[in-house]
Amino acid sequence: MKARRWNQFAFVLSAVCSAACSSENEGLSPQAPRDGGGADTGDIEPPCGPSTLAAGTFSLSFGGADYGYIVHLPPDYDGTKRAPLVLNWHGYTSNAQQQQLFSNFDLVADAEGFIVVYPNSPDASWNGGTCCGGGAAGRDDVGFARALVAELSSKACIDAKRIYSMGMSNGGFMSFRLGCEAADLFAAIAPVAGKIGIADCRPTRPIALLAIHGTADSLVAYNTGALSPEMLTVPDTAQKWADLDACQGPNSISDGSNWSCRAWSSCSESVGVTLCTIDGGGHCWPGQSYCPFPTVTTNFDANREIATFFKSFKLP
């Protein structure tokens, strides 16, 4: 993976994405597993105290580094009911604002009542393991994620059982790492165009995974072991996660015109594992019409699938 291509991505995205990232998505999408015992059953949570969290851009220092983050609040959030929290991580050479535009997740979050926070790296990279360079190597970005959740929880009415991680590319690697090392905090992860970037991934509990990846991704290869410490392809990665969760399958398959989803079920603690593959898809966010590394698809709505998946699982 060459830094020049990533820098091209960041430059083009900054200039174009604000005009092109919001698109109308059409077509059918597969349903996430709905048999999980962690599914939201409408449990009544005790009321929260006064909420001081506001939408906007903020900073947080951790481990000697200065991070930032953008908060997006759903329109019906009033601080009286516990809301799910989603961290949405940007890719290498990108930033929080670009990820907010590129993924266009706010619209779905508004409909579902999610608080969405876009972390911002001190140097445009995350320590997700093998991907993707920059100055993040050796930095405790998992510790930052924990500190960020603690900071947000001190200010907002957040449901501690419904905290999730998603992200693009290097942000997908970061989400995988959080699944490996912070399964006590996150109920589910949804990396797009990512892999497990660390060796010896051992979550402390079964954790739900929805992985989304294009077969023609030129930066994070689908069918080779590139950027994987264990030389795993993307299907191998999903199978490894299913094995970690003691799942059976894959025993559920959904197919569209240019996508397919394989789901593992009967997992330990009733979590679920799903891999959605975009046939011919590039290093893109499926469902959005803009992508600097085509080919993009708009008939698979990654945001809708991620939201549906997250709603299906919570911590025990």
Q: Is residue 26 part of a domain?
A: no
| Three-class DSSP category at 68 | strand
220-231 pLDDT per residue, tens: 999 999 999 999
Residue 228 lies in a domain: yes
What is the pLDDT at residue 43?
56
Any domain includes 168: yes
Residue 228 token pair: 């994987």
pLDDT in tens, 41-70: 445 666 687 899 999 999 999 999 999 999
Kindly state whether residue 255 falls inside one of the protein's structural domains. yes
Q: What is the pLDDT of residue 88?
A: 99
- Kindly state the tokens that stand for 1: 């993976």
- Cα 276 to Cα 148, 156, 279, 281: the distances in Å are 29, 33, 10, 11
The pLDDT of residue 45: 62
Q: What is the pLDDT of residue 18?
A: 40
42 domain residue, yes or no: no
Residue 52: its pLDDT value, please?
Answer: 95
Domain that holds residue 84: 50-311
CB atoms within 10 A of CB 205: 13
CATH of the domain at 105: 3.40.50.1820
Which segments within 31-73 are labelled E, that is strand? 56-62, 65-72
The predicted pLDDT at position 3 comes to 45
**pLDDT lower than 70: segments of the chain:** 1-47
Q: How far is CA 285 from CA 23, 110, 138, 156, 306, in A?
A: 12, 19, 28, 29, 12
The predicted model scores a pTM of 0.88
Domains contained in the chain, number: 1
- Give domain status of residue 287, yes or no: yes
Structure tokens at 198: 């660390």
